[in-house]
């Protein structure tokens, strides 16, 4: 076991150096043991130079029984303290048309139990991708959604290694709640204050503004919209906006109220923090939830990064709610392929808003692009929203399309009793009559004010 520990430590240092050289300004978070376990599973089925290269990268030269060693490590991890939860998810998916040797299958059963699976990439690509995404989502308690992006696998995929780490723990030293308060966050000479409550307040103001605007345009129509979905979609655009465009979005969505720039005014919390020292601030009951994903915001240049971070947290929380309803918020950008998209922006869209910017050919193949967008919206709305974009809504001059769709399905809190429900006619003056289901029920009556559930 000591040889395996040293090998994994050497691999961790090597990988850390490579990641630092590639993105020296990024935060780095990864699980070496999770990665090395997955690659060791692939090595079991490798031969010749491939097996030697994997062993060299993982520093297995002095490790005698690699599968047994990782089996022991995985077993020990599952028995760790109840103060935290650590899940190492490793999966090897193999195209079923490949003829796996009996020796390989036998060698993986015990040390890598339930970690290898044969799937059908060739004939059932979308179904297979959905099964993999759902499996990883369930294993990580909903923290990893759609780990396989749209173009990550295709019908030519033969072998897929999926790796994820999920960690939940308590702080060793908790924040005393009575001594904790909200303070400005200082960056260089500017103090910017961000809170989740401010984001919710800004979204509420945007909701009322939009409602007033829509109701003014046509006061007789019913109005139904999802403010959070719209503000998140525009927040995704805000992530890449600058100058006047950024200021206009901030004003409409009340993001200018979300961030409060204090300039060089004295920081009321700075003196207290200096007196207490760096190790005295711990929040009681707070947990540290970490996944193997990189999180970076360059707030010193633009607060849109941290703003998007809050949106990402809020959308993730909504997706993890376990209740008797289904809520799907689908946002996506479609851009003309002749206009290159900044890689940093693409990373931010994926990281914070859990979606992508798709490159399409509006100029040369407008109709195909329109159909592709409509098909995606229809699939995200369970077939409820069809032909979102008509033929005249997109042309060869289109450069960027922002798509926003919401799908909601829930059960009634109080069901309609079939015995008390009849067909009836609903009518208003100057409006054609419509049929509807009418329910009759009885409730107590008394003098004065009375409350009843109808």
CA angle 191, 195, 197 (to 5 degrees): 145
Mean pLDDT of 5-26: 83
Q: How far apart are CA 160 and CA 121, in angstroms?
A: 10
> Which residues are within 8 A (CB) of 248 and not within 5 positions of it... i.e. 6 or more apart?
none
Instruction: Pull the structure tokens for residue 177.
Output: 């709640």
As a whole number of angstroms, the distance between CA 167 and CA 84 comes to: 7
Between 283 and 241, the higher pLDDT residue: 241
Confidence of residue 394 (pLDDT cuts 50, 70, 90): very high
Instruction: Compute the distance between CA of residue 207 and CA of residue 197 in angstroms, rounded to an integer.
Output: 15
- Residue 136's pLDDT is 86
Q: In sequence order, what are the beta bridge partners of 169?
A: 84, 288
DSSP state at residue 418: G
Lowest mean pLDDT among 3-12, 38-47, 74-83, 243-252: 74-83
User: What pLDDT score was predicted for residue 277?
Assistant: 39
Condensed to tens digits (0 to 9), the pLDDT of residues 186-245 reads: 545 554 555 666 777 788 888 888 888 888 877 777 788 888 888 888 888 888 888 888
The three-state secondary structure class of 358 is strand
Classify the phi-psi angles of 191: left when phi > 0, otherwise alpha if psi is within -120 to 50, otherwise beta.
Answer: beta
Residues 112, 127 contacting (CB under 8 angstroms): no
Q: What is the pTM of this model?
A: 0.44
Q: Helix, strand, coil proportions of the chain in percent (round to 5)?
A: 40, 20, 40
- With tokens 């009418």, the residue in question is 438
**Are 435 and 424 a contacting pair, CB within 8 Å?**
yes
The overall average pLDDT reported for the chain is 75
Q: What is the DSSP string of 87-112?
A: EEEEEEEEETTS---HHHHHHHHTTT
Asked whether 439 and 416 are in contact (CB, 8 A), the reply is: yes
Q: Which two tokens stand for residue 228?
A: 């959070």
Q: Number of C-alpha atoms within 13 angstroms, CB side, residue 194? A: 18
CA distance 363 to 337: 9
Categorize the per-residue pLDDT at 389 as very low, low, confident or very high, splitting at 50, 70 and 90: very high
Q: Is the dihedral of CA 250, 256, 259, 261 positive or negative?
A: positive
In this structure, are residues 87 and 144 in contact, taking their beta carbons and an 8 Å threshold? no
Kindly report the backbone phi and psi dihedral angles of residue 371, in degrees, each rounded to the nearest multiple of 5, phi listed first: -65, -35
Cα three-residue angle 125-128-133, rounded to 5 degrees: 120
pLDDT single digits (tens) 289-318: 333 222 233 333 445 566 677 677 777 777
271: pLDDT confidence band, cut at 50, 70 and 90? Answer: very low
Give 72 or 94, the one with higher predicted confidence.
94
Question: What's the average model confidence in pLDDT over 261-275?
Answer: 38
Q: Which two tokens stand for residue 245?
A: 């465009």
Which residues make Cβ contacts (< 8 Å) with residue 58, sequence separation at least 6? 7, 8, 11, 36, 39, 40, 43
Position 139 scores a pLDDT of 82
pLDDT for 17-66, tens place per residue?
888 887 776 778 888 888 888 788 778 778 888 888 988 898 888 877 77
Tell me whether residue 282 is exposed, middle or buried, using C-beta atoms within 10 angstroms of its C-beta: 0 to 12, 13 to 18, 19 or more: middle
pLDDT attached to residue 274: 38
The structure tokens listed for 231 are 């503000």
- Token pair for 392: 């005249």
- 183: its two tokens: 């303070």
What are the structural domains of the chain? 2-170 (3.30.497.10), 172-289 (no CATH), 323-454 (3.30.497.10)
Give the SS3 label for residue 178: helix
Looking at residue 272, what is its pLDDT? 37
């Amino acid at each position: 076991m000591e040889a395996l520990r040293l090998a994994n430590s050497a691999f961790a240092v090597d990988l850390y150096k490579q990641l630092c050289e590639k993105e020296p300004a990024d935060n780095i978070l990864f699980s070496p043991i999770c990665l090395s376990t997955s690659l060791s599973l692939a090595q079991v089925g490798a031969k010749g130079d491939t097996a030697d290269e994997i062993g060299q990268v993982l520093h297995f030269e002095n490790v005698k029984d690699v599968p047994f060693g990782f089996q022991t490590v995985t077993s020990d991890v599952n028995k760790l303290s109840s103060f935290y939860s650590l899940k190492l998810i490793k999966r090897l998916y193999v195209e079923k048309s490949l003829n796996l040797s009996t020796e390989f299958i036998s060698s993986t059963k015990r040390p890598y139990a339930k970690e290898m699976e044969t799937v059908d990439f060739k004939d059932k690509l979308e179904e297979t991708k959905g099964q993999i995404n759902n499996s990883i989502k369930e294993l990580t308690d909903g923290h990893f959604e759609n780990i396989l992006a749209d173009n990550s696998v295709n019908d030519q995929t033969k072998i897929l290694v999926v790796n994820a780490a999920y960690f939940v723990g308590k702080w060793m030293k908790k924040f005393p709640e009575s001594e904790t308060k909200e303070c400005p966050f200082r960056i260089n000479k500017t103090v910017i204050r961000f809170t989740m409550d401010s984001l919710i307040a800004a979204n509420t103001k945007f909701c009322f503004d939009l409602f007033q605007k829509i109701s003014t345009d046509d006061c007789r129509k019913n109005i139904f919209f999802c403010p959070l979905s719209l503000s998140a979609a525009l927040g995704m655009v805000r992530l890449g906006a600058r100058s006047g465009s950024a200021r206009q979005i901030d004003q409409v969505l009340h993001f200018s109220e979300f961030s409060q720039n204090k300039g060089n005014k004295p920081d009321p919390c700075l003196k207290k923090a200096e007196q207490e020292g760096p190790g005295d601030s711990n929040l009681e009951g707070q947990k540290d939830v970490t996944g193997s994903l990189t999180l970076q915001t360059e707030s010193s240049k633009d607060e849109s990064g941290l703003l998007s971070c809050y949106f990402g947290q809020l959308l993730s929380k909504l997706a993890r709610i376990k209740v008797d309803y289904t809520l799907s918020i689908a946002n996506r950008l479609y851009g003309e392929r002749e206009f290159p998209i900044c890689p940093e922006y693409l990373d931010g869209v994926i990281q914070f808003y859990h979606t992508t910017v798709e490159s399409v050919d509006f100029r040369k193949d407008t109709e195909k692009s329109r159909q592709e967008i409509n098909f995606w919206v229809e699939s995200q709305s369970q077939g409820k929203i069809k032909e979102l974009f008509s033929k005249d809504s997109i042309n060869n001059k289109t450069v960027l399309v922002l798509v926003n769709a919401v799908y909601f399905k829930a059960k009634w809190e109080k069901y309609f009793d079939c015995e008390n429900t009849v067909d009836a006619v609903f009518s208003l003056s100057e409006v054609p009559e419509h049929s509807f289901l009418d329910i009759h029920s009885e409730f107590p009556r008394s003098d004065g004010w009375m409350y009843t559930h109808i």
